[in-house]
Structure 1
């Protein structure tokens, strides 16, 4: 994991409620936006972006939720690479640099960041910026 300042202007941005429904919607909207940009449905890039958005959005809802505050999803696409950014309102609980190993047999949770690390070229966390509270977890695919 590395820490980086955003250098790709967002081309898609959406605020969503910090609920399980909002996390599911984030994944759906990411796929719809990639399709609008011409990324073929079912290709590896589409599937990986949907996975990363789904995991980061679920983490924003589970670990970054502040009552009354939304989370934000931003996507950027330069024709080759996709940048995913998920921001939440809670900056006091950054994700670990190395995702913990979940119990392979019984754990229902704990695999999200390990999945992100496995499919993303790089990922990291930074303060949300622009005076907004919280953090942004980003990934490049």
Structure 2
């Protein structure tokens, strides 16, 4: 008797990459386009995964614009989605301005106006890291494990949706 093989999750990965101006307007546009792309991929506006991704993209883009800005250089947003995980990468050109990594964050003083953004990222993301970017700069990556109810929607939408250029 041959054992029944475990069901396999399809390996399709969706990727969206876009550069934005290192301005507050660029950061807002990054958040809007990220939510639109997630909706196209089957993560509808207003669901928990979409709302969490919106907060993560907004915070990482704002940090890239505020702390990672180099005159004349854009920042980059990259989203990748497979059947289980959404990865959000925000890259900027300033490598010497590196935030501390996961687990090393400390809360700012009570009256401080800033310093809470990466605490929010740490609280919302399942994993996050700061990576070197070649040839110059850094990437801050946040990953979300998709809940099973979103997962079903995503995995079926990934294989049914066909646009003018094939599968998206």
Q: Distance between the aligned counterparts of 1:125 and 1:57, measured in 2?
A: 14
1:23 aligns with 2:23: no
Alignment correspondent of 2:42: 38
CA 1:10 to 1:125, structure 2 compared with 1: closer, same or farther past 3 Å? Answer: farther
1:140 aligns with 2:146: no
Alignment correspondent of 2:71: 67
> Secondary structure of 2:43's match?
coil
**Rg larger for:** 2
Name the structure, 1 or 2, with higher relative contact order (CA <8 Å, separation 6+): 1
Per-residue deviation, 1:37: 0.2
Per-residue deviation, 1:81: 1.3
> Secondary structure of 1:93's match?
coil
* TM-score normalised by the chain length of structure 2: 0.73
Q: Distance between the aligned counterparts of 2:24 and 2:87, measured in 1?
A: 22
Structure 1 residues 47-99: Cα deviation after superposition (integer angstroms, max 9, x where no partner)? 11110010000000010000000000000010221000000000011111223
Which aligned pairs between 1:9-20 and structure 2 lie closer than 5 A?
A: 11-20=15-24
1:128 aligns with 2:137: no
Per-residue deviation, 1:124: 0.2
Is residue 14–residue 82 contact of structure 2 (8 Å, CA) maintained in 1?
no
- Could you list the runs of 5+ residues in structure 2 that have no partner in the other structure? 1-12, 145-168
Q: Distance between the aligned counterparts of 1:10 and 1:138, measured in 2?
A: 16
Root-mean-square deviation (CA, aligned residues, Å) is 1.4
Alignment correspondent of 2:122: 117
Is residue 64–residue 92 contact of structure 2 (8 Å, CA) maintained in 1?
yes
Per-residue deviation, 1:10: 6.7
Is residue 127–residue 134 contact of structure 1 (8 Å, CA) maintained in 2?
yes
Structure 1 runs (4+) deviating above 4 angstroms are none
- Could you list the runs of 5+ residues in structure 1 that have no partner in the other structure? 1-8
Alignment correspondent of 2:53: 49
